[in-house]
Amino acid sequence: MRTSLAGACLVLGTILAVITVRGVGALSWEMVSQPPESGFYLGGGGGILNAILGSLALATGATLLAMALAVPLALFMHTYLRSSRIANGIRLVLDVMWGIPSIVYGAFGFALMVFMGLRASLLAGVLTLALVVLPILARTFDEVLMMSPKDLREATLSLGATRLEYLGVLLRQALPGLITALLLAFGRGIGDAASVLFT
């Protein structure tokens, strides 16, 4: 066991050392802060500023768009549907969407763009990437809501609160979990290249 662990650590350490030794000479503030000289990311000189800004814009837009759909969906399932067949069906669909490879989303987005006569753009990338992060955000937030105290609903409604006011109380209770779900979705979005390859 210890030999296997030592071997794995040795291989990982060797890879990291080779990358560091060969790449440290190319690292500089100019590389991060300047756009490519040819105006395209495959140019011979310049930096990677456009790639950084593009990744941030794509991931932020997709996460915000997915949040606008996922949070109301999770709140609706938890408040009105509870553990009904419809809620379980929605959860199943979200789980299946979570398991679809991101290249399939990219091909779907590309086919939709061709059908609608659109060109590659930031909007097309955001819409495609939002489909990728939507199930992650919705299911994570749904799990957070299911872990909320069972007495919270009865205590809130017994004080004469409406269901809408209960949603406000529930949202404040689940806010740390929502932030975690947003960070997970943003991380998946900023690290996903296959879904935006064609868009």
- Mind listing the pLDDT tens digit of every residue in the chain (199 residues)? 889 999 999 999 999 999 988 888 777 787 777 777 766 555 566 677 888 888 899 999 999 999 999 999 998 888 888 778 898 899 999 999 999 988 898 888 888 888 888 787 888 889 899 999 999 999 999 998 888 887 887 788 888 888 788 888 888 888 888 899 999 999 998 888 777 777 6
- How confident is the model at residue 8, as a pLDDT? 94
Token pair listed for 25: 């000479």
> Where do the domains of the chain lie?
51-191
- How confident is the model at residue 39, as a pLDDT? 60
Residues 72 and 167: beta-carbon distance below 8 Å: no
* Distant-in-sequence, close-in-space partners of 69: CB < 8 Å, separation ≥ 6: 130, 134, 138
Q: Check: CATH 3.30.70.260 for 51-191?
A: no
Burial label for 184, CB within 10 Å (0-12, 13-18, 19+), is middle
- How confident is the model at residue 41, as a pLDDT? 56
- How confident is the model at residue 92, as a pLDDT? 93
Q: How many CB atoms lie within 10 A of CB 72?
A: 12
CA distance 129 to 137: 12
User: DSSP H helical segments within 101-150, as ranges?
Assistant: 102-116, 122-146
